[in-house]
Amino acid sequence: MPNENAWSVITAPTSKSLVLGIDFPAAGRREAGFEDLARKMGPAWAGHGFLQTTPPPVRLADRPAGDYYTEHWLNAGEWEKYEVVAVLGYCVGGVYAGEIADRLAQRQGTAPKVVLFDPQVTDLQLLESEIHKMIALAGPVFTAEEAEHARERAAEIVGTPSIGLLDAAVEIVGLYREMASIAFRRIGLADARRDEVVLLFESYMTWLSAASQIDPSRAWGEALAVTSSDYAELERTGAATVVNASKVLGRRLSLEIGHVDLLRDDSTVRLLLDNAEF
């Protein structure tokens, strides 16, 4: 099997054929993940093993290069015993999916198909949006003044002249910790639990930041992209993380479903059965 520290098994392989899912999975998130997709695909993908990335324990202070993650995922393990037939990427995971597919094509002599789900590239506004998500999820835990402070501070951070993406991520994590401290104290949870949550958020920010160093345009130009109605709305309103991604997409098929349901909706299953044979 490929490196057990780098991959979690969604479906154990019963043959030499593997499908890889590139994502940043986190317990309790609202968005469907590749485990949901595997359940929905059922017998159609029964002939393939399905593995999903496990992010390495790296922090912003380590300043990992873009290829740090791909090296982590592809080092070690018995890859020569398998053929990867498809690499799936969710959101920014699509950036890594393209690079992984390129590396595997060189290694195994055949190119895996690349399927992207709501592909995005990392920019400063994407980092800012994570604070907005936190505020929305916290609901009434924050006062209106506290929520507005967080939104304004996040905007100040990404609006700092000449700030680099990694430096902005460090400050966004600091703001997240400040707001998490308020929330956890208010609802009576221990500091140790807060620290776990902040560390997970920092790991996610590190994953986003490193992805900004990878140019996915060549791989994405040959990929199939499946996009949601939320993605189309972000594109319509000029969100750069989506607009810049959509410019380099090859074949794109759009669905009238929300982003959170993209990997579990029946229409996604039908689309894949009709357009993504592997």
pLDDT digits (tens, 9 = 90+) for 166-184: 999 999 999 999 999 999 9
pLDDT for 244 beyond 80: yes
pLDDT for 3 beyond 80: no
pLDDT digits (tens, 9 = 90+) for 134-165: 999 888 999 999 999 999 999 999 999 999 99
Confidence (pLDDT) at 263: 98
Q: How far is CA 250 from the centre of its chain?
A: 20
Confidence (pLDDT) at 29: 87
pLDDT digits (tens, 9 = 90+) for 86-113: 999 999 999 999 999 999 999 999 999 9
Cα-Cα-Cα-Cα dihedral of 224, 229, 231, 237, to 10°? Answer: 140
pLDDT category, 225, cuts 50, 70, 90?
very high
User: In degrees rounded to 5, what are phi and psi of residue 18?
Assistant: -125, 145
Q: Residue 117 burial by CB count (10 A; 0-12/13-18/19+): exposed, middle or buried?
A: buried
Is 1.10.3720.10 the CATH number for 7-121+214-275? no
How far apart are alpha carbons 51 and 48 in whole angstroms? 10
- Look at the block and give the residue holding tokens 């080092």: 75
Q: What is the mean pLDDT of residues 38-58?
A: 94
CB 76 within 8 A of CB 3: yes
CB 139 within 8 A of CB 180: no
Confidence (pLDDT) at 119: 99
pLDDT category, 66, cuts 50, 70, 90?
confident
CB 93 within 8 A of CB 24: yes
Confidence (pLDDT) at 271: 98
B/e letters for 133-172, b = 16+ CB within 10 Å, e = fewer, are ebbeebeeebeeebbebbeebbeebbeeeeeebbebbbbb
Hey, what are 271's tokens?
């689309």
- Look at the block and give the residue holding tokens 């357009």: 275
Hey, what are 267's tokens?
């229409």
**Mean per-residue pLDDT over the chain, rounded:** 95
Confidence (pLDDT) at 277: 85
pLDDT for 78 beyond 90: no
Confidence (pLDDT) at 27: 82
E-assigned strands of 123-277? 224-227, 251-254
User: In degrees rounded to 5, what are phi and psi of residue 262?
Assistant: -60, -35
What are the sequence ranges of the domains in the chain?
A: 7-121+214-275, 124-211
How far apart are alpha carbons 241 and 247 in whole angstroms? 11
Confidence (pLDDT) at 163: 96
pLDDT for 187 beyond 80: yes
HSE (side-chain half, CA atoms, 13 Å) at 108: 22
pLDDT for 1 beyond 80: no
**Shortest CA distance to 13 belongs to which of 53, 48, 54?**
48
pLDDT: which is higher, 227 or 55: 227
pLDDT: which is higher, 18 or 28: 18
